[in-house]
Amino acid sequence: MTYDVSHTSTSHTSPSHTSPLSVADVPANLLNGRVAVITGAGAGIGAATAQRFAAAGAAVALLGRRSGPLDDLAATLRKEHSAEVLPVPVDVTDPAALTAAASAVRAALGRPDLVVANAGAMLGAPFEEADTAEWDQMIDVNLRGLLMTGRVFITDLLDAAEAGRAADLVHLGSIAAEVIFADYPVYGATKAAVTQLTRNLRASLGPRGVRVRSVDPAFAVTELGAGMAHEATRAGLEKMRSAITTITAEDVADAITYSVAVPARVNIAELTVVPTELG
């Protein structure tokens, strides 16, 4: 599961723990010439991935709900990497707005060949106590928003593949798709749907040259879950995160960057990123 951690836990640290790769470690031309779109880019895994893509030479469209963090990140990427960056405030659950955002990306950066559908919501509670509005939010963001993200950019990806270039559609999933977390039934259901969707799209789009993959983190340090309403579940989340050395958003971003930089003939189809302690 990708957990809400607004600060890095200091519990259960290990002397052998090493930091993730710094942005400075990313080869400058690794993604040169590519046009990337990242949803949920204002914080966490999305922002860390944007930093690595920009450092690697890609033009990057930053999509997210909050304009402030997007603008701040865009300014940083331009300053530190001389990157071509476009911040686009948009709600991925609004199909018309997402379609307009896709047009804005094409007009400013060109046609994307790399899409990371990262926007997500994790709101846990026992089934009988949950606020059903939270169910709707997770279904809308984790599934419908991810579906529409792929849909509005799929023609761009197919055309890139037909031209002989690498083309990637990356879905952020979670180990909650496979592992049972009793108080996260709807979250787990949405992520299981993402896993099955990814596998079916890979069968459909892979023969046409588009690499479709899922990246499934566990215990990642992100803002995910910050809006959870159920107090006891929030307390349980704190207990779980303090019991293990978590991974960071940067760790997951490093894995994503590697997966999209391999030769076009290679698809790292399913990538699970977990703390070593989980085995």
Options 3, 184, 187, 258, the catalytic residue: 187
8-30 pLDDT tens trace: 333 333 333 444 556 657 777 89
The model's confidence at residue 71, banded by pLDDT at 50, 70 and 90, is very high
Q: Could you write out the DSSP letters of every residue in 11-28?
A: TT--TT--PPPPGGGS-T
Chain centroid to CA 129: how far?
Answer: 29
Look at residue 172 and give its three-state secondary structure. strand
Site of tokens 């909050």: 66
Catalytic: 184?
Answer: no
Look at residue 161 and give its three-state secondary structure. helix
Which among 36, 74, 79, 73 is positioned nearest to 57, based on CA atoms?
36
Burial tier of 37 (Cβ tally within 10 Å: 0-12, 13-18, 19+): buried
pLDDT of the residue at 264 = 95
143-175 pLDDT tens trace: 999 999 999 999 999 999 999 999 999 999 999
Which pTM was predicted? Answer: 0.90
73-76-80-86 Cα dihedral, nearest 10 degrees: 60
Q: How far apart are CA 242 and CA 161, in angstroms?
A: 44
pLDDT averaged over every residue in the chain: 90
Which among 52, 38, 128 is positioned nearest to 92, based on CA atoms?
38
Interval 57-76 mean pLDDT: 98
pLDDT of the residue at 215 = 98
Task: Give the chain's domains with CATH numbers.
Answer: 27-218+248-278 (3.40.50.720)
For the ranges 156-165, 188-197, 235-244, the lowest mean pLDDT is seen at 235-244
Burial tier of 154 (Cβ tally within 10 Å: 0-12, 13-18, 19+): middle
